[in-house]
Structure 1
Amino acid sequence: MKILIPTAKEMNTSLPTVKSKPLSPESQAVLDALATYSAQELESFYKISAEKAQEEYDHIQALKNGSTRNYPALHLFDGLMYRNIKRDDLTKEEQTYLEKHLMITSALYGVIPAFEPIAPHRLDFLMKLKIAGKSLKSHWQSAYEESVKEEDCIFSLLSSEFETVFPKEVREQMVTFKFMEERDGKLKIHSTISKKARGAFLTALTENQVTSVEEIKKLSFAGFRYREDLSTGKELAFVK
């Protein structure tokens, strides 16, 4: 069983660093493509300020020459979903569960274990970067498929941007989730609710050592409960 989550744009680098690992050939090819951009070109590529572009240029060059600082992926990313995941003061069992089951999908590193050492970077699959004439999604599809090919159960907390990197036959195996809030008798879905709920849901999976769909249906977390009437076999609905 594997749980898949995406990366986040926000990062926290005020953390203890860890020893880096060599890049995979796929990651090296992406880095080589990024390293051809000047800081000014990155400003346009990422649609960010000159200051942010220079910062990203420095990150890319540091990664290229091996001088970058590395951090455990689950702690480096600090978006809304990540801030709602229990990451500190983990029990031995919780740490082992995350090490065994949680994978993070990245446009630079591929599908990596939760605590894999990675460098700060800004890249997602909406970026129009070409790798040997291929899009980022095409470049990564084979490696993404390989990362889960032995799994009998895949829980996806991915956005469509990351989910669609996997080939169709893999996506059809995934169990996905939707998180809704009931207000004035109406069910609402929006980005903030979903991101917070994904983090709280992953925390509940970890604390309860969940490995099956039937166990998931029994969970309650952050005010959310499973709703069978709103669910399908491959998409489970939770309402707050």
Structure 2
Amino acid sequence: MKILIPTAKELNLLSQTSPHQLSQKSQKIVDTILNHRSIKDLAVFYKISKEKAQEEYLPLRQLQTGQALAAPALDLFNGLMYRNIDRNLSETEKNYVKKRVFITSALYGISNAYDAMAAHRLDFTQTLSINGKSLKNYWQKDYDRFLEKQGPFISLLSSEFESVFSKKYREQLIQVQFMENKNGQLKTHATISKKARGKCLSQMIKQDITQVSQLKALTFDGFVYDASLSSPQKLVFIKKV
């Protein structure tokens, strides 16, 4: 079993301590972002203010020149999902992560959750042409190739990251959906999903979940698997509130 999780916009910059060199493929992305772009151009690209773009420029230059510091990806990201992951892990639990948990990124492709990453601002919604390809097309073969490994593949991803896979491979993913039942009304939204993904992953790590049948039996933070709403490629967990 392999588990896929997304990156996050919020970062723990204090986690970065080690020198970092990008792969050739990631280097091409940074070079393309910076190529002939002024601070004003960066602001337009990121859809942020000129002041914020100025703040983004130095980290990009450090990435480009190999001067950026990095941290294990699981420690670097600090969005809502990550804050709901217990990252104080035993050696056994760390080994589980190294074997089974992988992070999808617009800059790094698919990496193990303990691989080094540097702070960066990039997602698949941004318009960037690299050798005539969009970011999604640029990474698609790499993403698809990952699914040629031994599965099953559990997706705790948002649709943004799932859409990078070609249709043939995307259909291999086993999606996990989280919903709340309030007075008989089922609802889901980003906050529910992000928190639940973190809680779910924590329990998968702690309980050494390696099979889909074990995942279905998992309970966490009030969430319970609902067979009536699920299918072989979509596991639905419901929480009564």
Runs of 4+ in 1 over 4 A off after TM superposition: none
Matched residues in 2 for 1:234 and 1:222: separation?
Answer: 23
Partner in structure 2 of residue 14 of structure 1: 14
The offset of 1:218, in angstroms, is 0.6
Structure 1 residue 123 displacement after superposition = 0.3
Structure 1 residues 173 and 222: alpha-carbon distance in aligned structure 2, compared to 1, 3 A threshold: same
In the TM superposition, what are the counterparts of 1:75-114 in structure 2 within 5 Å?
75-88=75-88, 90-114=89-113
Structure 2: distance between partners of 1:147 and 1:207: 25
User: Distance between the aligned counterparts of 2:7 and 2:142, measured in 1?
Assistant: 17
- In the other structure, the counterpart of 2:161 is 162
Equivalences for residues 1-240 of structure 1 within 5 A: 1-15=1-15, 17-20=17-20, 22-36=21-35, 37-88=37-88, 90-240=89-239
What secondary structure sits across from 2:56 in the alignment?
helix
TM-score, with length taken from structure 1:
0.96
TM-superposed deviation, 1:34: 1.1
Q: Equivalent residue of 1:86, what SS?
A: coil
Deviation of 1:133 after TM superposition, in Å, equals 0.9
Q: Residues 11-66 of structure 1, C-alpha deviation per residue, up to 9 Å, x if partnerless?
A: 1112251342x422221211110121222211111111222211111111011111
Which AA in structure 2 matches 1:239? I
Separation in 1 of the partners of 2:117 and 2:130?
20
Q: Secondary structure at the match of 2:125?
A: coil
8 Å CA contact retained: 1:154, 1:174: yes
* Counterpart code for 2:117: I
Q: Contact (CA 8 Å) 2:16, 2:118: kept in 1 or not?
A: no
Q: Structure 1 residue 93: deviation in Å?
A: 1.1
2:143–2:164 CA contact under 8 A, matched in 1: yes
Whether the 8 Å CA contact 1:110–1:140 is kept in 2: the answer is: yes
- Quick one: which amino acid aligns to residue 184 of structure 1? N
Residue ranges of structure 1 left out of the alignment (5+ in a row): none
Structure 2 unaligned segments of length 5 or more: list them: none
**Alignment partners' CA distance in 2, 1:226 and 1:97:** 23
Percent identical: 49
8 Å CA contact 2:80, 2:195 repeated in 1: yes
Q: Deviations over 1:87-123 (max 9, x none)?
A: 12x1111100001101100001110110111110000
Task: Please give the TM-score of this superposition, normalised by the length of structure 2.
Answer: 0.95
- Hey, what's the Cα distance between the residues in 2 that align with 1:28 and 1:109? 9
CA distance in 1, matches of 2:189, 2:149: 33
C-alpha separation between the residues in 2 aligned to 1:228 and 1:91? 32
Distance 2:27 2:114 in 1: 20
Tell me the distance in 2 between the aligned counterparts of 1:72 and 1:152: 24
CA RMSD of aligned residues (A): 1.1
- Superposed CA offset, 1:167-186 (max 9, x none): 11211111101101111221
1:148 and 1:111 map into 2 onto residues whose CA distance is 11
Partners in 2 of 1:156 and 1:16 — Cα distance? 27
How far is 1:147 from its partner? 2.2
- Give 1:54's aligned amino acid: Q
